[in-house]
Structure 1
Amino acid sequence: MTDATTALEALRSRLTGRLLLPDDADYDAARSPWNLAVEQRPAAVAFPADVADVQAIVLAAAEAGLGVTTQPNGHGAAGDLDGVVLVRPTAFDEVSVDVPARVLRVGAGVNWGAALQALEGSGLIGLAGSNPEVNVVGLAINGGHSMFSRLHGLTARSIAALELVDASGAVRRVTGLDDDDEQGRELIWALRGGGAAGFGVITAIELELFPGEALFGGGLVFDAEHAKLVIAAALALGRDVPDLGLDVGMMQFPDLPVMPPHLRGRTVATVSLVHVGDEATGRGYADRVLAVAEPIANALTPFTIGELAAVAAEPTDPMPTADFGASLGSDDDAFVAEFVEAFLAGASHGLTRAGMRPVGGATADALGADLAAVGAVSAPLVLNTGVLLAGPGVDPEAALQPLRDLAARHPGGGGIPSMLGPGPLALAYRPEALERLAAVKGSVDPGGLFRGNRAISG
């Protein structure tokens, strides 16, 4: 038995929660990430029951020469985690809404689906992800692009406070409001967008909320023959209405019995929109896209904040994928033609989806940039693509290469970590921001105990 194993066995006996080691029956299920194509074998998987458990895990790992990383439900996994204790904070499940203060408080194990249900009837909205299984903390500290971001900014900018256990095992509440706490101000700056570099084990987060009594939106699906016209119309709409949430792209549906009959085996263009306001105005925006082609499916509807995930209708089950993301510097009609051709070229090798979100609006607002590592986004679009690694004839590198080439021809510069797929924070941030992030990391975690899923550079 190694010294590390001995230390972990001793830790297990002290925890109120669970600690699973590689020989335990539940270890394989516990270590599995959201992206099933990623293989990770941590030294142990910890399910702390409370903050005292987190402190014990951090101190024991440091003493044993192990690292610590956090994955609430497996999103963002990027490495093998050799010599690392993987923390699953699923027991941290508190959810509360302070309506007068317009603040959402959740534990580190809470996903956006539960948070949105808590907001139901409040008249308030949070800068949520479009998938209910995405973790609230994970999205926020990675920048976080919401369908409400063009109106209210990136999710990271809405972080009001965080509670965490630092590398010394101390419990900290960080707001950035204490004039005497320079390290705290730097730490919350780093966590607002650069948190995936690893600065501690977060146990709770508080986010600013915004008015949102009336909501309208949903998805439109068109045959691929109309893709250029539909996507061009949607991007033109986005330029004209900078606070409208939009996701525009293409999908190739597998020819599988589980697929809806009208979509099975088809390649389609997709437009999703979210409008904060009345139905008549929202339908007027959608009519600009509907005027250029007849949709295969039209799911536009008034909805409440608790129904946001159903409006987005994204897959919610873990699956093996290969992903790529980038900022794009063009959004004109000539670019749209290139995008459609690149998708179709990738689809012949198994490319499953490619979505582009117009940025601009509040995401391009430089005000308050010094309060968050994620700054104003100057590119007009961010791209996220994926290949479902299932079935014959799927070649992920060949599938993604046409879109990699497209991004290289139309570089946007910078971006939002949560939208850029795997890779270092250098893909998203300017050198001066990376230097500042490295300085914060060196200040609060000088021994490099916490292993983030994104390196600061590289």
Structure 2
Amino acid sequence: MSRTPDRAALERLRDELSGTLVLAGDPDYDVARLAWNLSVDQRPAAVATPADVADVQAIVRAAPDGGFGVTTQPNGHGAEGALEGVVLIRPSRFDELSVDTEARVLRAGAGVNWGRALQQLDGTGFIALAGSNPEVNVVGLALNGGHSMFSRRYGITARSIVAVELVDGEGAVRRVTDAEDPELIWALRGGGGLFGVVTAIELALYPGDQLFGGTLAFPIETATTVHSAAVELARDIPELGLDLGLARFPDLPLVPPPLRGQTVATVALVHLGDEVTGRGYADRLISAAAPIADTLTVFTIGSLAAVAAEPVDPMPTVDFGAALGSLDDAFIHDLVDAFLRGADLGLARVGVRVLGGAIAEELGSELAAIGAIEAPGLLSAGVLLMDPSIDAMAALQPLRELVETYPATGTVPSFLGRGATLADAYGPAVLARLAEVKRRVDPRDVIVGNRELPVAAV
């Protein structure tokens, strides 16, 4: 949809808001508009930091006459395009956070990241279905599906949404639950930010007073043996969180000595339970090959991010993700081969989240746009663009060919790469149902999601 913002309308809106509105051409515009992925050059009509719900309502209500759309990016994760003609909302001032242990609910404002939320859960005996990076936003992860290292036990993050508070496409404030609006909350559980500007979310909590996990790194020569052992372990223990990885580390001081300059295979695991049992699972991997690095430990929920130890700073990357149709020995062999060919061209890392368990169960999936996922794994990969000579498309091509060889239908939207739409995650029936909800709560198509809902569905 083509949009032509009225700058005068934007300037009037700026005067009306209690928060801030940075317009294109303002001195701080280039900083305000940045995406987390620094290779994405988005240029919205303006960037808003609303002070309260009334500010959000004012922005949304001004949009139709002002000729602009409205989208939300807490931190800039998932940024896709130029955002021409769109006011970008940064909800950083929606920073409320609370844990109700009696109701087993985490409540988080739209500006809260997972690192802070997990710290709040420390000592409660409960866990939330958090992602692996502390800088990822709570609301953003949940609305877009979200995969957690606890998902094989308790399911995809979106299915844990209890309530959502938002301003819809006509500026109305809504509290959305299964009782109040079952179709809208169905759409919010995996449909992304298409249906309004979310100001707060409530997520179910689950028992988790004992946690054990970490990452084992192995010589690349043992990759097929170790990863095959990990897949066998996953089949035997369907509730165990497992992430298979391949990485090539630069020979730089910032990399720990055991990994510096090395190409390695990794297995990250998270066990909801005692250390003795968890070490028993890890021993099955260690018996397959001797690790060169081992971070396995007992930890609390507040330290979950340390298990994955993912980068937390913005950087320029080209990402690729897809569902996988197999994790058998032939796939593992082909995965290692594809990674090594890509790594010679600049591919830095590839990971495979093992699915199954509660992720594949139908229980509760009828309540969410993201239903049961039958694929056994999710692939994610990234090429760092620090060296201008790197051809990211060429580096990722072996993985694209791998996915074509082992295809699967359905995936988690938060794992989709740049340029993908919701049609890459959902089938026609789900897309049509999402479009019907979109028409009802946003009839003038004010709200812009990070993942496009194909025009044919609308």
Does structure 1 retain, via aligned residues, the 8 Å contact 2:192–2:450? no
Structure 2: tracts of 5 or more residues without a match = none
1:259 Cα deviation after fit = 2.2
Task: Give the number of aligned pairs.
Answer: 451
Matching of residues 108-187 of structure 1 within 5 Å: 108-178=110-180, 184-187=181-184
Distance 2:239 2:99 in 1: 25
Distance 1:393 1:84 in 2: 33
Code of the residue aligned with 2:309 in structure 1: it is A
Code of the residue aligned with 2:13 in structure 1: it is L
SS at match of 1:193: coil
Q: Which runs of 4+ in 1 moved over 3 A?
A: none
Structure 2 match to 1:181: none
Which of 17, 24, 32 is the equivalent residue of 2:19? 17
Distance 1:92 1:216 in 2: 33
Distance 1:310 1:16 in 2: 38
Which of 430, 436, 441 is the equivalent residue of 1:439? 436
1:305 Cα deviation after fit = 0.4
Matching of residues 301-320 of structure 1 within 5 Å: 301-320=297-316
Structure 2 match to 1:41: 43
Does structure 2 retain, via aligned residues, the 8 Å contact 1:328–1:380? yes
TM-score after normalising by structure 1: 0.97
Distance 1:16 1:67 in 2: 20
Between 1:307-316 and 1:273-282, the stretch displaced more is: 307-316
Which of 272, 287, 312 is the equivalent residue of 1:291? 287
SS at match of 2:380: strand
Does structure 2 retain, via aligned residues, the 8 Å contact 1:216–1:274? yes
Matched, 1:329 2:325: yes
Which of 242, 249, 254 is the equivalent residue of 1:246? 242
Matched, 1:360 2:333: no
Code of the residue aligned with 1:431 in structure 2: it is P
Q: For the structure 1 residues 30 and 392, does the alpha-carbon distance in structure 2 shift closer, same or farther, using more than 3 Å as the test?
A: closer
The RMSD of aligned alpha carbons is 1.1
Between 1:390-399 and 1:331-340, the stretch displaced more is: 390-399
1:413 Cα deviation after fit = 1.1
Distance 1:328 1:408 in 2: 9
Deviation string, structure 1 residues 102-138 (Cα, Å, up to 9, x no partner): 0000000000001001101000000000100000000
Matching of residues 269-280 of structure 1 within 5 Å: 269-280=265-276
Deviation string, structure 1 residues 137-196 (Cα, Å, up to 9, x no partner): 000000000000000000000000000001111110000213xxxxx2111100000124
Distance 2:204 2:189 in 1: 13
Deviation string, structure 1 residues 363-408 (Cα, Å, up to 9, x no partner): 0011222210000000111111111111254211111110110010
Distance 1:190 1:247 in 2: 28
1:255 Cα deviation after fit = 2.9
1:310 Cα deviation after fit = 1.4
Which of 193, 199, 205 is the equivalent residue of 2:195? 199
Distance 2:282 2:417 in 1: 29
Does structure 1 retain, via aligned residues, the 8 Å contact 2:5–2:68? no
SS at match of 2:195: coil
Which of 373, 376, 379 is the equivalent residue of 2:375? 379
1:4 Cα deviation after fit = 1.2
Identity level (%): 65
Distance 1:30 1:254 in 2: 31
SS at match of 2:191: helix
